Every structure is written in C-alpha cells, then in structure tokens.
Amino acid sequence: MTMPTTTPPPGKAALTGTPFADVTASATTLRRFLHGLPGVDTVGLEARAAALGTRSIKTTAKAYAIDLAISMIDLTTLEGADTAGKVRALGAKAVHPDPTDRTTPKTAAVCVYPDMVATAKEAVAGSGVKVASVATAFPAGRAALAVKLADVRDAVAAGADEIDMVIDRGAFLAGDFMKVYEEIVAVKEASGQARLKVIFETGELSTYDNIRRASWIGMLAGADFIKTSTGKVGVNATPANTLLMLEAVRDFRAQTGVQVGVKPAGGIRTSKDALKFLVLVNETAGADWLDNHWFRFGASSLLNDLLMQRQKLATGRYSGPDYVTVD
C-alpha cells in the first residue's frame, strides 16, 4: 500500500504547546497525570467490544477487508529454533503470500530477533516489505538499560526498519512510571530512523486502568506504535484491550495533533477475528488508521487463514490442505 507522510514522532519537542508539555517534567507530575486519567468502565468497554464484533462484512467489502488485513500483518517468527532458512522462507512468503496469485498484497513486515535481521533484510530486498526486530531483552525485558540499548543498536545496524521493544513491567507495576517513560525515550533515541513499537504485555498489567496508563506513557515518550503483547504469555491481544488502546491514540491525536499506530499481537488466528479488529479500528479511531502505516497485526498463522478465505471468495470453494504453508 502507498505509505502516507509520517507524522513527526511524539516527544517533548512535538508536545510543546500542548496540554501535555509539562506532564513528564518530574515523576510526581507524571504520576499525577496518569492517576488523573478517567477510570475505565470495564463493563462498558467489554460490551462495546463485543457489540462491534457482531458487525457483518459481506462480499466486496469482505474481499477488500481481507486484502487490507493481509497488508497489515507483521509476519513473525520469534523462536529459539529459528534458522536462516526459516527466516528466508518467511521473507519469501511476506513478499508473495500466494505465489499462485500475484494480486495478493504483500504483508507489511517480517518480525524477527536481532540476529536474524540481516537475513530477513536480504530476503525482502526491493519489495517494500519492512523488517521489524524485537529488542530490549524481549520478551521479559529483564536486562540493564545499557544491554537493552545495545540490543536495539545491533538491530538497527543490521538494517531493521522497525523496533519492537518491551516495557519494564516490573517498574510499571511498582509505580515507577518515570523509569518506564525514560527507558522508552532512550530506546526511541537509539532506534534512530527506525519506527518504534512499544509492547505493554497487557496480560501482565492486570487492569484496564493500567493499560490506559501504559498507553499514555508510551505515547508521551515517543512511541510510533503501541502494541498489546509479545505473544509469549497466556493473555495477549483481545478486542477489549485493543479498543482501549485505539481510544487512547484517538484522544492523543485530538489533543496533540500527533498520530500513533496500534498493533494487537498474539492470539489473532482467523480471518473472522482479524475483520472484527478492523471494525474496531474504523468505529473507534477512524478511517485514518485503516492503513498498514498505522495499524498492524502481529501474527504468523493468521496469514494462512486469510489466504484460504481469499481463495474461497475468488473460487467459491475452500482450497486443499496443501494450498498454504503450515506455520
């Protein structure tokens, strides 16, 4: 898809003259701001997410939505057993998801560990597919800041276009919001021109209020995207936590003029699920986010189901089990 002009990344310079210019002046002002955010109506949030999930998308609109979802995927492999061959195969699939139908959109990116960035970069060279790299001691984030920053710089030096970092959940849950904020700022600086996705691991934050606070910390600190999860814990992306984050980016842009993307990751495996998330985007943040520059799916097996459904719409029948690769 054609990428729109990038909005300048948020941060102190971008927030000058906004209501948030002094929010991060000290740990006290940041804490006061975060605890002053409206409390989340759990029942209302989950009911709205469920209601939007019942919307039906038919025929031409469904075909468009499936192609849009394919174009929004960060095709991901983050396993200890990853090999160069597996990453090259992933890159080939990202560039030509369906080799029998070259009208199939490319995925937005491939996402790998830092040591596989160079291999992934070579595999997608010239295609426009981005290479994203997890960093900052993913997935636990248990390392010294110097180690995390070295991880980021290694990935960027190898050619990463995007960095997916994890926040220090221990610091966040202990109420040390300034530490979380300052770490994101430092990672943003180390990322250089690479876009930064900040992962909250929503399944470990316990409450919707905490997810809202983490979203605002990420946006204030300079995140280009806020991301639900690593995909490595029991609870990952859900319609409700993604809806909450979409509300946050909508409100942030309304008050600052700065647009931030959203990436749900983990547990989104079917076309039906992906289309529900696209409805959430359209109805909550708006059409400006219906583009892979501002919305992504962190997934691996999701692409296979989207391809199966795409062929079903084109031919009227489901393909055989060998039509798509098994991830």
Active site members: 164, 227, 263
Q: Across-strand partners of 132?
A: 111, 162
Nearest to 188 by CA among 157, 232, 219: 219
Cβ–Cβ contacts within 10 Å for residue 322, how many? 7
* DSSP reduced 3-state for 77: coil
| CA–CA dist 121, 261 (Å, integer) | 23
User: Within its chain, how far is the Cα of 321 from the centroid?
Assistant: 29
The token duo for 111 is: 């996402």
* SS3 state of residue 76: strand
Of all helices (H) and strands (E), which one includes residue 93?
helix 84-95
In angstroms, the Cα distances linking 35 to 53, 179, 202, 216, 217 are 30, 16, 18, 11, 12
In the chain, DSSP finds a helix count (H) and a strand count (E) of 13, 8
199 DSSP assignment: E
Looking up tokens 């597996």 gives: 86
Q: What type of residue is 70? A: I
